Amino acid sequence: MKLIILDRDGVINHDSPDFIKSPAEWIPVPGSLEAIARLNQAGYKVVVASNQSGIARELFDMATLNAIHQKLHNLAQQVGASIDAIFFCPHAGADNCDCRKPKPGMFTEISQRYKISLKGVPTVGDSLRDLQAGFVSGCIPYLVLTGKGEKTQATGGLPPGTMVFPDLAAMVNHLLKSNAAAASSSAS
């Protein structure tokens, strides 16, 4: 089984310093949903792991988060993309939970849910904590420069082996191209 783990805000949709608090504020990054469709066509299950401390901060409630994710699923479906599951951490930093990235709790949960090791599984984020949570879980970290990505790249300290792409569409193009190259070299 092929799996890929994506951050949500700043990767699939435009981020906002004021949080994404309503379906109206959830706007996809151009090309991101189409990129997810290409992943699906290549046999990837696409899973989201997202910090949503806006819940703990009472900026929005669970019903609103569900409505936001319904919009995500609806827009994805319109371009033939499917997101298999959305894992989120509703806590704030002070809650000291195990799931808020950079802690790896959501990645552990994903590994258990799909009964696979995350070793070598690609993970895509725009913040250092996304990449850190993935890296300690065995994932290959990819930074995209949408959302907070440019700031993250400028700050540095990325996990070893992090690859950087302008956006999710470019990352997916690279991933699928390198998979195809690996397949043709092993076939020859």
Active site residues: 7, 9
* DSSP character string of 36-60: HHHHHHTTEEEEEEEE-TTTTTTSS
167 binds, among Zn ion, Mg ion, none (CB under 5 to 8 A by kind): none
139 annotated as belonging to a binding site for a ligand: no
Dig out the tokens for 83 from the structure: 């997101």
CB closer to Zn ion out of 95 and 174: 95
Q: Who contacts 171 (Cβ-Cβ below 8 Å, separation ≥6)?
A: 35, 124, 142, 144, 163, 165
Pick one of Zn ion, Mg ion, none as the site partner of residue 99 (Cβ within 5 to 8 A by kind). Answer: Zn ion
Q: Which residues bind Mg ion (CB under 5 A)?
A: 7, 9-10, 126-127
The residues near 114 (Cβ < 8 Å, ≥ 6 apart) are 1, 3, 45, 47
The reply to whether 176 sits near Zn ion by the rule CB under 5 A is: no
Q: Which does 91 bind (CB under 5 to 8 A by kind): Zn ion, Mg ion, none?
A: Zn ion
- What's the gap between Cα 93 and its chain centre? 20
Using the contact rule CB under 5 A, the part of the chain among 19-27, 83-91, 126-134, 158-166 near Zn ion is 83-91
Q: Residues forming the annotated binding site for Zn(2+)?
A: 89, 91, 97, 99
